[in-house]
Amino acid sequence: MSAAAPDRPRRIAILGSTGSIGTQALQVIAAHPERFEVVALAAGSNAELLARQVQATGAGVAAMYDDDAAAQLRERRTSTGLTDVEVLSGPDACEQIAAEVQADVVLNAITGSIGLKPTLAALGSGATLALANKESLVVGGALVTAALQRPGQVVPVDSEHSALAQALASGRHERGLCSPVTTGYSEVSRLVLTASGGPFRGWSVEQLAGVTPQQALKHPNFDMGLMVTTNSATMVNKALEVIEAHLLFDVDLERIDAVIHPQQYIHSLVEYQDGSSIAQAGPPRMLVPIALGLSWPDRLQKVDTAIDWTRAMDWTFEPLDDAAFPAVRLAKQAAAASATHMAVYNAANEQAVQAFHSGALAFPGILKTVEQTLAAHTGIAASQTDLETVLGVEEWARATANQIISSAALTTATGSGQKA
């Protein structure tokens, strides 16, 4: 299925519609009703908000990951007169929507590697995949690229990768975004992703040892939920984005860097072989990349307020402190090791983040857990990797990470004189 014909609105399915990306996507769609038609919405457990979204958009299909929440949604469907809306539920509901609703664009805004199956289902349906779920590409890189049916079928929604796609348009196009035909960008010397630095920019290794969960959730610019906000604090989010850029644009990992830019007006930039750098700038918000994900390659009108270039501003850039924040280095090493090491990286990190917020792990222990879990993984070649293999590796990684976390907690308790 190609993009919708210009004489009709694009049919949109949103997976993760009650989250930050999903709600902003619905704002964009509401402002351009002539361009889009919402055909399906999916969420985790917020039945009340999803019911309001269904009522506002007229979506014919709604799905909830949580079965109890789906039952609530069915009750609300009756009370609001939306009896014609089909309600799906369970872990496979998003995958079913991606595969069956005949959308022109599927926006995958789910958090975590559970987004992998819906990503593959969307690609298999032929729809354009507006990808905000970086984990599915990072974890299932070989599977995702193998599932592509045409150049440009994946359009990035992360602001950094949207910026790179826009900046790459300044050069010769030798292939589309995340194309099944890889020839690379011969003019490109380097991709540079910017990062805010999170709440602990400039902190030393010693200072990070005492970080609390409350501090880790105080991002300077965004509220992105527990997992993504914590990943921003550890720089894991930037590490995943580096790997995502490698897979989307087929640029070697050695030619992809991350730099700290606290103001977050430059979303990322491309350095060309002649020494020029093309940067994409905009307010530190997500509306433009979300809109481009839905309308690519077209630009919509009046999506966000432009930068006021008549106002004095200071934009600063700093190198990444690898000693305090080794996430990017570990991710590059993992991605180079085998086709399954990044699945281990992501799964171990998810377990460690949850352990940190439950009080079972210190903040520096998150990356230590990831590193130790990676060291225990032998790796599997891409030619031997399928979905079942990736899911099995993830299960192993979570179990291994939990063992490492338990050992760390036991050591801490014993060392502090507590009864183990």
Does residue 416 register a pLDDT over 50? no
Strands of the sheet containing 318-319, edge to edge, are: 277-281, 266-272, 188-195, 256-260, 318-319
Q: Which domain holds residue 395?
A: 338-420
Asked if the model's pLDDT at residue 173 lies above 60, the reply is: no
Buried b (16+ CB within 10 A) or exposed e, 67-78: eebbebbbebbe
Structure-block tokens of residue 375 = 């060291």
Question: Do 115 and 245 fall within a single domain?
Answer: no
Residues 85 and 209 in one domain: no
| pTM for this entry | 0.89
Is 302 among the domain residues?
no
- Predicted confidence band at 176 (pLDDT cuts at 50, 70, 90)? very low
Same-domain pairing of 18 and 144: yes
C-beta separation of 152 from 179 below 8 A = yes
Q: How far apart are CA 221 and CA 238, in angstroms?
A: 15
Show binding-site residues: 18-21, 44, 46, 133-135, 158-160, 196, 219, 225, 232, 237-238, 241
CA distance 124 to 325: 37
- 219 and 185 in a single domain? The answer is yes
pLDDT attached to residue 79: 76
pLDDT of residue 266: 97
Residue 78 has pLDDT above 80, yes or no: no
- 351 phi and psi, to 5 degrees? -65, -40
Given 157, 191, 221, which residue is the final one in a domain?
157
Last residue of one domain, picked from the residues 105, 127, 157: 157
For residue 262, is it within any domain?
Answer: yes
The pLDDT, as a whole number, for residue 110 is 93
Residue ranges for the known binding site for 1-deoxy-D-xylulose 5-phosphate are 134, 159-160, 196, 219, 232, 237-238, 241
Residues annotated within a binding site for NADPH: 18-21, 44, 46, 133, 135, 225
State whether 355 and 322 are in the same domain: no
By the 8 A CB rule, do 42 and 96 touch?
no
Both 136 and 168 in one domain: the answer is no
| Average pLDDT along the chain | 90
Are 128 and 29 part of one and the same domain? yes
CATH number for position 43: 3.40.50.720
* Residues in binding site for Mn(2+): 158, 160, 241
The count of structural domains within the chain is 3
